[in-house]
Amino acid sequence: MLFKLAWRNIWRNKRRSFIVFISVIVGVNAMLFMDGMSNGMLSQILFNEISLNVSHIQIHKNGFTDNKMVQNYMPDYENVEKIIITNKSIRYYSKRIVTFGLLSSAANSTGIYLNGIEPENEQNVSRIKSSIIEGKYLSGNSGEIVIGKKLAEKLQVELGDKVVALANTSDGSIGSDVFRIVGIYKSPSSEFDKSYVYIPITNAQTMLNLQNKIHEFAIITNNYNSANIIRDKLRETLSGSYEVLSYEDLLPFVIIQLDMYKESLFVINLIISLALIFGIINSMLMSVFERIREIGVLMSIGMRNGKIFLMILIEAFTIGTAGTIIGVISGYLINIPFSTFGINLSVFAQSLESFAVGAILYPKLSVENFVMILLMIPLISILGALYPAYKAIKLEPVYAIRYI
Amino acid sequence: MEIIKTENLKKTYKDNGVPVNALRGINLIINKGEHVVIAGPSGSGKTTLLNLLGALDKPTEGRIFFKGEDFSLKTKKELSDFRLRNLGFVFQAYNLIPVLSATENIEFSLMLLGIPEKERRAKSLKLLEELEIADLAYKRPGEMSGGQQQRVAVARAIVNNPKLVLADEPTANLDSKTGALLLDLMDKMNVEKNITFIFSSHDQLVIERAKRLLLLKDGLINDQNN
Look up the ipTM and state it: 0.89
Lowest mean pLDDT among A296-300, A392-396, B102-106, B188-192: B188-192
A207 by DSSP, 3-state: which?
Answer: helix
Query: Who among B51, B76, B89 is closest to A301 (CB)?
Result: B89
Q: What would the pLDDT profile of B114-129 be if each residue is shown by its tens digit? A: 999 999 999 999 989 8
The domain ranges of chain B are: 2-94+160-225
| pLDDT digit string, tens, across residues B27-52 | 999 999 999 999 988 888 888 999 99
CA distance B216 to B49: 10
Closest CA to A320 of A370, A252, A361, A379: A379
Amino acid present at A167? A
pLDDT of residue A353: 67
A253 — contact with chain B (CB < 8 Å)? no
Residue A272: what pLDDT? 87
Is the pLDDT at A317 greater than 80, yes or no? yes
Out of A208-217, A252-261, A350-359, A382-391, least confident range: A350-359
Give CA–CA dist A27/A269, Å, rounded: 9
Determine the Cα–Cα distance for residues B46 and B52; give it in Å rounded to an integer.
10
pTM equals: 0.75
Do A230 and A87 form a contact (C-beta atoms < 8 A)?
Answer: yes
Mean pLDDT of B15-21: 86
Identify the residue among B48, B71, B80 best suited for mutation to test binding to A, counting A beta carbons within 10 A and taking the highest: B80
Taking alpha carbons only, the member of A384, A383, A339 closest to residue A360 is: A339
pLDDT value at residue B196: 93
Choice between A343 and A220, residue whose per-residue pLDDT is larger: A220
- Count the neighbouring beta carbons within 10 Å of the beta carbon of residue B1: 7
* Interface check A11 vs B, CB under 8 A: yes
- Say whether A1 and B104 touch across the interface (CB within 8 A): yes
More confident residue, A188 or A91: A91
Residue A404 has pLDDT above 70, yes or no: no
Candidate from B51, B83, B91 with C-beta closest to A302 = B83
Report the C-alpha gap between A202 and A351 in whole angstroms.
37
Contact map slice: A 305-364 vs B, CB within 8 A: 305, 307
pLDDT digits (tens, 9 = 90+) for A258-289: 888 888 888 888 888 888 889 889 989 998 99
B85 interfacial to chain A (CB closer than 8 Å):
yes
Query: pLDDT tens across B172-194, in order?
Result: 888 888 888 888 888 888 888 88
pLDDT at A385 over 80: yes
What kind of fold does domain B2-94+160-225 have according to CATH? Rossmann fold (3.40.50)
More confident residue, A98 or B202: A98
What confidence category does residue A180 fall into, taking pLDDT thresholds of 50, 70 and 90?
Answer: very high
Distance from CA of B168 to the nearest CA of A (A): 11
- With contacts defined as CB-CB under 8 Å, which chain B residues touch A5? 97, 99-100
Cα separation, A193 vs A191, whole angstroms:
5
Answer whether A4 sits within 8 Å of B104, measured CB to CB. Answer: yes
Evaluate if residue A352 carries a pLDDT over 50. yes
Write the single-letter amino acid at B26: I
> Among A167, A189, A40, A33, which Cα is nearest to A104's?
A167
Across A99-108, A110-119, A158-167, A230-239, least confident range: A230-239
What CA–CA distance (Å, rounded) separates A228 from A233?
A: 9
Q: Which helix (H) or strand (E) holds B21?
A: strand B18-31
What does the pLDDT average to over A112-129? 93
pLDDT above 70 as % of chain A: 98
pLDDT at B226: 46
The answer to whether B163 touches B4, Cβ cutoff 8 Å, is no
pLDDT digits (tens, 9 = 90+) for B107-165: 999 999 999 999 999 999 998 988 888 999 999 999 999 889 988 998 999 898 899 99
Where would I find the H helices in A113-246?
A: 119-125, 149-155, 190-195, 201-207, 227-237
